[in-house]
Amino acid sequence: MKKRNQLLVLVLLFTLILSLAAFAEEGRFLKVTAYGVNIRAGAGTDTDVIGRADFGDSFEVLQVADDWYQVRLAKGEVGWIHASLVQEGARFAAADRSIEEVEAKEPGVNVRGGASTSFEVVTTIGPGTRYLLLQKSGDWVQIRLPDERTGWVAAWLVNLSENKVKSTASSERQQATVIASQLNVRRAASLSSEVIGTLQQNEIVQVRTVREEGWLQIEYGEGVGYIASEYVRLPGQSVQSATTSPLDSSQPTLTLKAQVNLRTGPGTNFPVIETARTGSQFSILAKSGAWYQIAAGSEQKAWVAGWLVEVNGSLSGIREEQPTLDSSLRGTTIVLDAGHGGIDVGAIGRASGAFEKDLNLSLAQMLANKLITTGAHVVMTRADDRFLSLQGRVEIAEDNRADLFVSLHYNTHQDPSLSGSITFYHSEAGEDRRAAERVQQELVRSLGLPDLGARFGDYYVLRENQTPAILVETAFLTHVEDERHATDLAAQEKAAEGIFRGIVAVFEE
């Protein structure tokens, strides 16, 4: 073994021991991810309820038995909570932590493989970026670099600053819950920024700053990341408490089977008024397709998705409003194909350097979130950054007996003045052309880029597909204004909304 390798092993071992020690110190904690959770005397629903916990409450874990956690309550008591209602993680440690960060005093500061100038330079850093301090050794400090790498810099070339990480026990601490099925975490507050991870629905994140233009800075891993604020619920957003709605005995009621968004209209395209808790009960005022209008307060009316509720009583006297925009999608299977992935980055944004693969995935996730809430069954050919063959993509559509395959891309052209959206189809005769025309029409209407039409395209994923299939080229990454639309969150949302409405139109006919 070479000397350098031996040293590397030593450093790695040391880092491991340090992180293990940190874990032991912090202990195991869990966070409650639902409202009105029962705390029981034992590990079973047949035991007494001895207390209640709410979303965001944090407890120390004493032991785990089957699907139950034993936790420490206030005043040293203990109780049991079911595992499905909590999320565990050492990062929810109750103690205040402070992290030290390192920032170079001047440009071009060498970062080396070890704590002396005899080690090779692995990279250089400059002012403006802070790195997490891992350890100190003499006049040297070890820092965490991007991509899980570490390196050493001379302490006299950097400034150290302490950054207090507040306890989750603090009520000032902002937490947000992910409401999308999946949500990208990015390195910066832009869609063109690198995706550093993915959050799942109901995951809780610690919000550091609420940025304008739809982004939140959150704690992620050892550092920070950025997420689109639209897909999380912040504690400030009111949550309707259970059974507060005035119930009229002559009217049918509904009970929410999950935490549900109350909207201004009968469809996921309408804004969310507030979120109501599981178990909340409301009077039904009207019906529209798969949606119910409810009395959300003494004055307020709102709409909820029918597949998220249980109806009590007869609906025979209930007025039926016009069918909704998206009720036609219930029960359909839509395959969303985020083009490229992994080593295949696709096109590269001229000004932003954004990879097409990342924009495609982000657009696919936005679209999936819209489709899922209408009751459509959505299958993603890829839900993360991975390489997938064209044949593999087509097989996913066929294995799922999909009703529609939608491949999502961003375009390039040698002529940088070419701007606009195109939707491609392969078969003139079948569903393909009609689907492409509908989606193209709504995409252009919503996004507002030039209409380059629904066109024939000889693409593998269209040609070799038994499923009705279209390929959307939302905008050109070689055109300045198009690229801005591609990498801007609000504009991408418009593109997703347009494609969504187009898909709805396909199934409405």
Q: Which is nearer to Zn ion, 208 or 340 (CB)?
A: 340
User: Least distance to Zn ion from the beta carbon of 11, Å?
Assistant: 41
> Using CA of residue 331, residue 333, residue 334, residue 336, what is the dihedral sign?
positive
Q: Which is nearer to Zn ion, 268 or 478 (CB)?
A: 478
Q: Which is nearer to Zn ion, 286 or 383 (CB)?
A: 383
User: Least distance to Zn ion from the beta carbon of 339, Å?
Assistant: 4
Using CB under 5 A as the binding rule, the residues of this chain from 186 to 245 that contact Zn ion are none
User: Least distance to Zn ion from the beta carbon of 461, Å?
Assistant: 10
Q: Which is nearer to Zn ion, 130 or 409 (CB)?
A: 409
Q: Which is nearer to Zn ion, 382 or 409 (CB)?
A: 409
Q: Which is nearer to Zn ion, 208 or 409 (CB)?
A: 409
Question: Which residues touch 235 (CB under 8 Å, ≥6 apart)?
Answer: 56, 174, 175, 176
Q: Which is nearer to Zn ion, 339 or 420 (CB)?
A: 339
Q: Which is nearer to Zn ion, 114 or 457 (CB)?
A: 457
Closest C-alpha to 220, from 254, 266, 184, 256 = 184
Query: Are 275 and 261 within 8 A, CB to CB?
Result: yes
Q: What is the H or E stretch that residue 398 is in?
A: helix 390-399
Pick the stretch among 202-210, 310-318, 323-331, 341-349 that binds Zn ion (CB under 5 A). Answer: 341-349
Pick the stretch among 41-49, 63-71, 335-343, 457-465 that binds Zn ion (CB under 5 A). Answer: 335-343
User: Least distance to Zn ion from the beta carbon of 219, Å?
Assistant: 33
Burial class (CB in 10 A: 0-12, 13-18, 19+), 296: buried
Q: Kindly tell me which residue out of 208, 233, 277, 409 binds Zn ion, with binding defined by CB under 5 A.
A: 409
Two tokens, residue 218 = 């959150």
Residue 294-333 contact track with Zn ion, rule CB under 5 A, x = bound: ----------------------------------------
User: Least distance to Zn ion from the beta carbon of 473, Å?
Assistant: 7
Q: If binding means CB under 5 A, how many residues of this protein chain bind Zn ion?
A: 3
Two tokens, residue 377 = 């069954």
User: Least distance to Zn ion from the beta carbon of 131, Å?
Assistant: 35
**Angle value at C-alpha 171, between 237 and 208, nearest 5 degrees:** 70
Q: Which is nearer to Zn ion, 101 or 337 (CB)?
A: 337
Two tokens, residue 107 = 């440009």
Cα separation, 26 vs 20, whole angstroms? 10
User: Least distance to Zn ion from the beta carbon of 471, Å?
Assistant: 9
What is the separation, in whole angstroms, between the first and last Cα of the chain? 69
User: Least distance to Zn ion from the beta carbon of 467, Å?
Assistant: 19
Largest CA distance in the chain: 84
Pick the stretch among 49-57, 224-232, 336-344, 474-482 that binds Zn ion (CB under 5 A). Answer: 336-344
Q: Kindly tell me which residue out of 346, 349, 468, 502 binds Zn ion, with binding defined by CB under 5 A.
A: 346
Pick the stretch among 38-46, 266-274, 383-391, 408-416 that binds Zn ion (CB under 5 A). Answer: 408-416
Query: Are 181 and 368 within 8 A, CB to CB?
Result: yes
Q: Which is nearer to Zn ion, 305 or 359 (CB)?
A: 359
Q: Kindly tell me which residue out of 79, 339, 457, 468 binds Zn ion, with binding defined by CB under 5 A.
A: 339
Q: Which is nearer to Zn ion, 302 or 469 (CB)?
A: 469
CB atoms within 10 A of CB 321: 16
- In angstroms and rounded to an integer, the radius of gyration of the C-alpha atoms of the chain is 26
Residue with tokens 């939608």: 406
**DSSP secondary structure letter of residue 324:** P
Two tokens, residue 166 = 């507040």
Q: Which is nearer to Zn ion, 206 or 412 (CB)?
A: 412
Query: Are 200 and 33 within 8 A, CB to CB?
Result: no
Pick the stretch among 161-169, 263-271, 340-348, 441-449 that binds Zn ion (CB under 5 A). Answer: 340-348
Query: Are 347 and 411 within 8 A, CB to CB?
Result: yes
Q: Can you spell out the DSSP letters for 133-167?
A: EEEEETTEEEEEPSTT-EEEEEGGGEEEEEEEE--
Pick the stretch among 26-34, 63-71, 312-320, 345-353 that binds Zn ion (CB under 5 A). Answer: 345-353
User: Least distance to Zn ion from the beta carbon of 354, Å?
Assistant: 13
Residue 238-257 contact track with Zn ion, rule CB under 5 A, x = bound: --------------------
Burial class (CB in 10 A: 0-12, 13-18, 19+), 75: exposed
Cα separation, 131 vs 109, whole angstroms? 13
Burial class (CB in 10 A: 0-12, 13-18, 19+), 49: exposed
User: Least distance to Zn ion from the beta carbon of 357, Å?
Assistant: 8
User: Least distance to Zn ion from the beta carbon of 409, Å?
Assistant: 3
Strand pairing report for 421-425 and 451-456: parallel
User: Least distance to Zn ion from the beta carbon of 304, Å?
Assistant: 38
User: Least distance to Zn ion from the beta carbon of 334, Å?
Assistant: 19
The length of the chain is 509
Closest C-alpha to 406, from 275, 503, 294, 293 = 503
- Helix, coil or strand: residue 496: helix
Contact between 349 and Zn ion per CB under 5 A: no
Q: Which is nearer to Zn ion, 176 or 359 (CB)?
A: 359
Query: Are 268 and 374 within 8 A, CB to CB?
Result: yes
The residues binding Zn ion (CB under 5 A) are 339, 346, 409
